[in-house]
A and B are shown apart, each in its own frame.
Chain A
């Protein structure tokens, strides 16, 4: 069940999977895929995590594309864990991305982990402005739609990735399989977004108020 929302005069839908759908522009917005996470950790000598997160992330993205009449995909940065990750993407996953992008406009916004682009696929921009809204990796001067913080929110003792919907900022949850999260009531998120709603992802999107400056138990 999606959650319809209005931001800076535009209508959007927050989707249970954690993507944002912009029907008027047939644009699917997704943030923080962090492809190549396990390989990057292994190269640094860290733990050898199950090397399946790219396949998992891409499979969920395929599901979103199949469900909607998408004309354009907007990746809001940190699509790759680091700048070497695009090279390291397995041929199978690369082919999958290529197939997904077939016939679509694909835009990579640069993140703080990466330049955000897969060579030969789509175009790379540092940010774009449409209908008076900035689309960028890290929230700046609003109104803007961004990623970066991997927000999560709590309800009845459960914490889930969440959209944060404030007056001038709309922040997306991280979409990548191997991504942790930052509680929406912890600094700096709490004061950044201001009063608004947290929209929790999961089987269906659930809304709860965001109340900056106080920590409430939910």
Chain B
């Protein structure tokens, strides 16, 4: 039984990651980059270059894909990572080198550079599984940040059925705590 994956942060603060989230600007600012086809999800990078940011967004979505989500919540995860990297040179290097590593497509004895965000879904998964098997602090850092950031995002959690804070609504006593309707009547 191995709980070594269970970092203090993931266990206790899984839903707290968004508290320190950075604002995502609605427009493309000076020096900013459009990180998706839709420029409304651009943000001002603080530490990471465009290739790294695009790669991390693609990776976050491949880690925890949901068809009902657009790129917005994944971009927010990466914006948070970028903000953390601005305070932590080791993290900046880890993320930059990590995405660079994902941008290697191995084919037989040869390898080729193809930016991770531009790879097909199958090639991306191949690269991610290779990184996951190899090591890997980078993979786990991004996975942990995506877990906490994506599912700690109240809108994402609500879409999945977690209804969030109840005290301001008077709890669930009159809001369906016992409303189950599919169970046969128990004797």
Tell me, yes or no, whether A binds B. no
